[in-house]
């Protein structure tokens, strides 16, 4: 069967055969074909047409693993369920797990030995019975140890992470070169967008190649002190992606998994110091300051147990940061800031300097209280821009002027319907409109904001421009904005 879902290995047999063999849906069987072996989960075909008796259907990964051809003979034998099932049941019963048990669960997740339902039970268990600090530490270690690691021998490795949910907010691309220019090592891996108009990796990709092997990354860092690559093509703490996939349908995020997955990704690139940015606000991922403070405390505690210095900064996440939303528009904002172009979004520069300042202090490049000054100096002197171009080139790109960046063919201005004060620009709504316009798959699509919170606008003044390479999508984006709003003006 030509199906490959990237999940567990699945074989399908006729339900009458299953009955005779006393197999249940979800049971494991060992398949033998010649000398090749594989363990797979059984599912049933309910009709003869789908699968006649005596036949077995194999998903693509299994065909490959068993090196099997049509009409080859396959023998099968019931095997025990993976041990992790017992431990998942244990957590669901509210019992604590020891590090070995957690390790076995994570190994089975990474090796696709669990079905979707079994994985969902694990997520549900860690969601309803919040894991203890020790369990979360064990979870983090298990996530690190089941993936690849970027080994950097120096102690000066620093990294940052943002919990997300704020539109724009492309600080990483500005902070990274400031930190690298100051002499610290910053092996930055970023994700692509899931629900936003652009992820850092999508935006960086406008300017250079972001898919690199761990070997290449090592070389780039050796040469430049930094990098900014897509983490998705690496195998760092891979359990995380599989857990996220099963959390998606319910929009769950189990706190212990959030903590563990972030710290595991950072530890996997040898980071000793990590700045965590938690934006708090209505449209952001974390809505309440209270929840942010709990997270902060736990980050610090767990970091300590892992031998990492974690500094958590809680920032305002209620409005977009920067003017552009969408890969090209955000890349342009970043270049404006790095080049000191007066068209830059001032809020993006300010936030980047603030965070870079803290990191310079963490990495002992500046005395306490003097980080922001140093960060500004590195940025405004052009050193950060030079470092950025050096890294862009090391990753296979070349210098490009922000004015040469091509935007999408079609655009529409959205104007204020009355005069008044901008009270709120909603992250989630504005991100949705930008995505409908085509971002991030269409890198040139997105939104460019002209107004900010607290600005006075006249009736008919342009609030923002929507860009798209598809007339249909542009129209749909405009209509969606008209329907759901997202910019609140009070006269």
Window 125-144: contact mask with its own copies (x via CB under 8 A):
x-xxx---------------
Which range in 41-49, 95-103, 137-145, 330-338 contacts its own copies by CB under 8 A?
41-49
Window 376-415: contact mask with its own copies (x via CB under 8 A):
----------------------------------------
Closer residue to its own copies in complex, CB, 151/248: 248
Residue 406 buriedness (CB in 10 A; 0-12 / 13-18 / 19+): exposed
Closer residue to its own copies in complex, CB, 81/291: 81
Q: How many CA atoms lie within 13 A of 135 on its CB side?
A: 19
Which range in 119-127, 390-398, 422-430, 478-486 contacts its own copies by CB under 8 A?
119-127
The residue from 4, 130, 154, 346 that contacts its own copies (CB under 8 A) is 4
Least distance (Å) between residue 126 CB and its own copies: 11
The answer to whether residue 476 forms part of the interface with its own copies (CB under 8 A) is: no
Least distance (Å) between residue 202 CB and its own copies: 11
- Whether the upstream peptide bond of residue 373 has omega within 30° of 0, thus cis, is no
Residues of this chain, 228-267, that bind its own copies according to CB under 8 A: 245-246, 248-252
Closer residue to its own copies in complex, CB, 129/218: 129
Least distance (Å) between residue 78 CB and its own copies: 11
Q: Which of 43, 253, 341, 386 is an active site residue?
A: 253
Backbone angles phi, psi at 70, to 5 degrees: -50, 135
**Size of the residue set binding its own copies (CB under 8 A):** 52
Question: For residue 325, what are the contacts with CB-CB under 8 A and spacing of at least 6?
Answer: 167, 168, 197, 198, 430, 431, 434, 439, 446, 447, 448, 449
Q: Are 421 and 459 in contact (CB under 8 A)?
A: no
Please report the DSSP string for 330-381 in residue order. HHHHHHHHHHT-TTS-HHHHHHHHHHHHHHHHHTTSS-TT-HHHHHHHHHHT
Of 266, 192, 278, the residue nearest 229 (C-alpha): 192
Task: Return the H-helix or E-strand segment holding 202.
Answer: helix 200-204
User: What is the rounded distance in angstroms from the CA atom of residue 315 to the CA atom of residue 171?
Assistant: 12
The answer to whether 253 is a known catalytic residue is: yes
The residue from 43, 241, 300, 461 that contacts its own copies (CB under 8 A) is 43
Question: For residue 454, what are the contacts with CB-CB under 8 A and spacing of at least 6?
Answer: 421, 422
Residues that bind its own copies (CB under 8 A): 1-6, 12, 19-20, 22, 24-26, 43-47, 49-51, 57, 60, 81, 85, 88-89, 92, 94, 115-121, 123-125, 127-129, 194, 245-246, 248-252, 435, 441
Q: Which residues are catalytic?
A: 253
């Amino acid at each position: 069967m030509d199906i490959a879902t990237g999940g567990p290995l699945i074989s399908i047999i006729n339900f009458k055969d299953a009955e005779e063999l006393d197999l249940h849906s979800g049971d494991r069987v060992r398949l033998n074909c010649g000398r090749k072996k594989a363990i797979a989960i059984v599912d049933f075909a309910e009709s003869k047409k789908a699968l006649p008796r005596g036949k077995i259907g194999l998903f693509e990964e299994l065909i490959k693993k068993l090196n099997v051809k049509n009409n080859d003979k396959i023998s099968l034998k019931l095997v025990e369920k993976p041990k992790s099932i017992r431990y998942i049941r244990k957590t669901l019963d509210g019992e604590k797990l020891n590090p070995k048990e957690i390790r076995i669960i994570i190994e089975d997740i990474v090796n696709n030995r669990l079905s979707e339902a079994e994985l969902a039970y694990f997520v549900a268990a860690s969601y309803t019975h919040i894991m203890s600090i020790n369990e979360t530490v064990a979870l983090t270690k298990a996530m690190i140890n089941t993936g690849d690691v970027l080994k950097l021998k120096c102690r000066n490795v620093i990294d940052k992470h943002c919990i997300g949910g704020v539109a724009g907010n492309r600080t990483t691309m500005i902070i990274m070169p400031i930190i690298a220019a100051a002499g610290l090592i910053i092996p930055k891996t970023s994700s692509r967008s899931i629900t936003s108009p652009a992820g850092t990796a999508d935006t960086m990709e406008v300017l250079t190649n972001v898919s690199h092997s761990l070997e290449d990354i090592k070389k780039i860092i050796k040469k430049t002190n930094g990098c900014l690559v897509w983490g998705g093509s690496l195998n760092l703490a891979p359990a995380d992606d599989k857990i996220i996939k099963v959390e998606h349908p319910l929009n769950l995020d189990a706190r212990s998994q959030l903590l563990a997955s972030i710290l595991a990704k950072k530890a996997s690139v040898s980071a000793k110091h990590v700045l965590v940015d938690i934006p708090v606000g209505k449209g952001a991922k974390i809505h309440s300051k209270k929840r942010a403070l709990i997270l902060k405390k736990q980050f610090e505690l767990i970091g300590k147990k892992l031998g990492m210095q974690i500094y958590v900064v809680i920032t305002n996440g209620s409005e977009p940061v920067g003017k552009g939303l969408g890969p090209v528009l955000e890349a342009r904002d970043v270049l404006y800031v790095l080049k000191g172009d007066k068209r830059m979004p001032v809020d993006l520069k300010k936030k980047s300097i603030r965070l870079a300042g803290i990191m310079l202090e963490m990495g002992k490049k500046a005395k306490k209280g003097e980080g922001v000054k140093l960060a500004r100096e590195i940025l405004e002197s052009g050193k950060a821009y030079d470092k950025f171009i050096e890294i862009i080139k090391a990753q296979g790109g070349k210098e490009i002027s922000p004015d040469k960046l091509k935007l999408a063919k079609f655009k529409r201005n959205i104007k204020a319907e009355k005069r008044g004060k901008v009270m709120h620009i909603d992250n989630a709504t504005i991100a949705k409109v930008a995505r409908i316009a085509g971002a991030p798959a269409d890198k040139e699509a997105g939104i460019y904001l002209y107004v900010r919170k607290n600005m006075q606008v006249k009736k008919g003044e342009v609030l923002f421009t929507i860009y798209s390479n598809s007339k249909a999508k542009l129209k749909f984006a405009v209509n969606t904005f008209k329907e759901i709003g997202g910019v609140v003006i009070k006269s």
